[in-house]
Amino acid sequence: MTSPTNIENKISLIEKYLGILERYQKYSREEIEHDIDIRGAVERYLYLAAQATIELAETVIAYKKFRKPTSMSENFSILNEEGVISLEFSENLIKMTGFRNVIAHDYDNIDYDIVYDVLHHKLNNIKKFIELAEDLI
């Protein structure tokens, strides 16, 4: 059974990943692409932050007893259907799921303009989702 503690633990994990990612925001787009150590760390922690956010959505859905998703991106559609998040916000989080899939499965074709943009401009979507999840418990 899912409890508020499960949600809190997932939030704590995401916040840890976001803190690590914020340390990499000092690097230029070129440094991220061309320095294998920086690139690897950024890609890994973006993946972990996105994956943990998806899992947080799954945990919220289970806690609230909403219908079970059949795909990772469907988590955010369900949260929109249930009035937890707006359609626009669910679309942003679905894009994050797609980005996670690229990092996980199409890693030899990563667009570093997108990586840089996510690192500098899209982490706020995860922070906003954390706040919404906290309000549900």
pLDDT, one tens digit per residue, over 95-136 is: 999 999 999 998 888 999 999 999 999 999 999 999 999 998
- What pLDDT sits at residue 108? 86
pLDDT at 74 over 80: yes
CA distances for 116 relative to 42, 72, 100, 112, angstroms = 9, 23, 14, 6
- What pLDDT sits at residue 126? 98
pLDDT at 137 over 90: no
What percentage of the chain carries pLDDT values higher than 70? 100
SS3 85: coil
CA distances for 79 relative to 49, 83, 98, 116, angstroms = 19, 6, 17, 28
